[in-house]
Chain A
Amino acid sequence: MRASEEQLRNWMVGGLNGSAADHATLLGALVPLLQAFYRRRLRDAAEDVEDLVQETLIAVHSRRATYDPDRPFGVWLFAIARYKMIDHFRRQRQSCPIEDVEDILVAEGFEDSCSARMDVDRLLGMLPAKQAVAIRRTQIAGLSISEAATAEGIGESDVKVSVHRGLKALAARVRGER
């Protein structure tokens, strides 16, 4: 069973007051929480999860003076866990062989870029075709206004107006959706 925030906090405060038993119980109870935290975020590097859990436990131990008992324990804990994860990525990137970089970038950005692309497709689908094409060409494919105008066989100002109107409509829609 997972320990509640309240229990964790009490053990932490016990440890801060010098109780070794409370401190050991706390660290033990953090293990499954941290494992779950890192497993969800490092699906493709499962072998690093245990290292990160241990590093985080050491940090929780050596930097426990920075916990303020008046504040939520979970926020403090996961702030440390997140920092350790970012530090881990940074270190890995420094030492990873150059030919893997592309794979890593693809894997790391894949989920985000997929869902972003789906969102963009869905939103552009709501616009008139002319505006959607103009936005795709100039904002996503990165063509200049004049290149887009030549590709469409229409005037430059026509492209500009389409982009402007389309973006305005999208902004209104996104704001309305929230």
Chain B
Amino acid sequence: MDTEALIRELAQDVQPVSPNAVGKRVAAGLLAGAVATVVLIGWWLGFRPDFDLAMRGYSFWIKWIYSGTLAACAVAATLQLARPEPAPLRWLWLLGVPVVALAAIGIYEMAHVPSSDWLAMWLGRSWKQCPWIVLRLSVPIFIGLLWSYRRLAPTRLRLAGAVAGLAAGACAATLYCLHCPEASAIFVLTWYTLGIGLAAAIGALLGPHLLRW
């Protein structure tokens, strides 16, 4: 096909593009995935029955703010990497801030209980399942973000995959708070972060294969 004919054909289909189409596309993928994850939680795990009570406790909010800030950073990076130009990503060190803050809270909590309780605090009742649940719950959100990327133009595919996995894992962890009864900061720091990190690692592995265009 010669180039002239190609241009004529492409110019047949010129829909107006809304300003901030990238943001809308990512938001749509994220939202669709999040809805699927909430449905999955309700159907598979159930919401915690003491939800309104838990919302009054500080540990619920710490968990929520921790995974929420990680998710916000990761979504911001996802938006940047959805455009082809080289993106300044040095601000990603901010991801360390919630981790360090939560570690500080964890140490503070541990200082106020006898050391014989530390292991129970760290392992909670669900340490074996928690990372895997977070990882599984991240799947719908990851698929949603892959769908978003399909019409966008990421050029650093491994990083884009990692960041999408991180966003999916952190959003999934945020939603998992609807079910998860664990309360200690050190538990969240270890097992939530492990699940989120696994999601990011899998995203980095899959990115170069799934995001090509």
CB of B7 within 8 A of CB of A63, answer no
User: How far is the CB of A8 from the nearest CB of chain B, in Å?
Assistant: 15
Complex CA–CA separation, A64 to B213 (angstroms): 14
Q: In this assembly, does B82 line the interface, its C-beta being within 8 Å of a C-beta of chain A?
A: yes
CB of A15 within 8 A of CB of B7, answer no
* Most chain A C-beta atoms within 10 Å of own C-beta, residue among B12, B14, B16, B152: B14
Q: In this assembly, does B153 line the interface, its C-beta being within 8 Å of a C-beta of chain A?
A: yes
CB of B85 within 8 A of CB of A75, answer yes
Complex CA–CA separation, A66 to B160 (angstroms): 15
CB of B85 within 8 A of CB of A71, answer yes
CB of A24 within 8 A of CB of B84, answer no
Interface stretch (choices A76-84, A112-120, A131-139, A170-178): A76-84
Complex CA–CA separation, A34 to B86 (angstroms): 19
* Most chain B C-beta atoms within 10 Å of own C-beta, residue among A31, A58, A59, A83: A83
CB of A79 within 8 A of CB of B1, answer no
CB of A65 within 8 A of CB of B6, answer no
User: How far is the CB of A19 from the nearest CB of chain B, in Å?
Assistant: 7
Interface size of A as a range: 20 to 34
Complex CA–CA separation, A59 to B11 (angstroms): 13
Complex CA–CA separation, A24 to B8 (angstroms): 7
Chain A contacts with B in 1-24, Cβ cutoff 8 A: 15-21, 23-24
CB of A76 within 8 A of CB of B83, answer yes
Complex CA–CA separation, A53 to B6 (angstroms): 11
Q: In this assembly, does A28 line the interface, its C-beta being within 8 Å of a C-beta of chain B?
A: yes
Q: Which residue of B lies closest to A67 (CB)?
A: B83
Complex CA–CA separation, A71 to B87 (angstroms): 12
Question: Which of A23, A54, A75, A82 is within 8 Å of B11, CB to CB?
Answer: A23
- Interfacial chain B residues near A50, Cβ < 8 Å: 3
Complex CA–CA separation, A76 to B22 (angstroms): 14
Complex CA–CA separation, A104 to B127 (angstroms): 51
Q: In this assembly, does A61 line the interface, its C-beta being within 8 Å of a C-beta of chain B?
A: yes
How many A-B residue pairs have C-beta atoms within 8 angstroms? Tell me: 80
CB of B14 within 8 A of CB of A63, answer no
Q: In this assembly, does B10 line the interface, its C-beta being within 8 Å of a C-beta of chain A?
A: yes
CB of A66 within 8 A of CB of B8, answer no
CB of B82 within 8 A of CB of A66, answer yes
User: How far is the CB of B186 from the nearest CB of chain A, in Å?
Assistant: 41
- Interfacial chain A residues near B7, Cβ < 8 Å: 24, 27-28, 31, 57
Q: In this assembly, does B212 line the interface, its C-beta being within 8 Å of a C-beta of chain A?
A: yes
CB of A83 within 8 A of CB of B17, answer no
Complex CA–CA separation, A87 to B83 (angstroms): 16
CB of A65 within 8 A of CB of B11, answer no
- Interfacial chain B residues near A95, Cβ < 8 Å: none
Q: Which residue of A lies closest to B21 (CB)?
A: A65
Q: In this assembly, does B115 line the interface, its C-beta being within 8 Å of a C-beta of chain A?
A: no
- Interfacial chain B residues near A23, Cβ < 8 Å: 10-11, 14
CB of B84 within 8 A of CB of A76, answer yes
Complex CA–CA separation, A31 to B2 (angstroms): 12
User: How far is the CB of A34 from the nearest CB of chain B, in Å?
Assistant: 10
Question: Which of A17, A58, A80 is within 8 Å of B10, CB to CB?
Answer: A58
Query: What is A's interface to B at a CB cutoff of 8 Å?
Result: 15-21, 23-24, 27-28, 31, 50, 53-54, 57-59, 61-68, 71, 75-76, 79-80, 82-83, 87
Some 14 contacts from A to B, beta carbons below 8 A apart, are: A16-B17, A18-B14, A19-B14, A20-B14, A24-B8, A27-B11, A53-B3, A54-B6, A58-B10, A59-B153, A63-B153, A66-B83, A66-B152, A68-B22
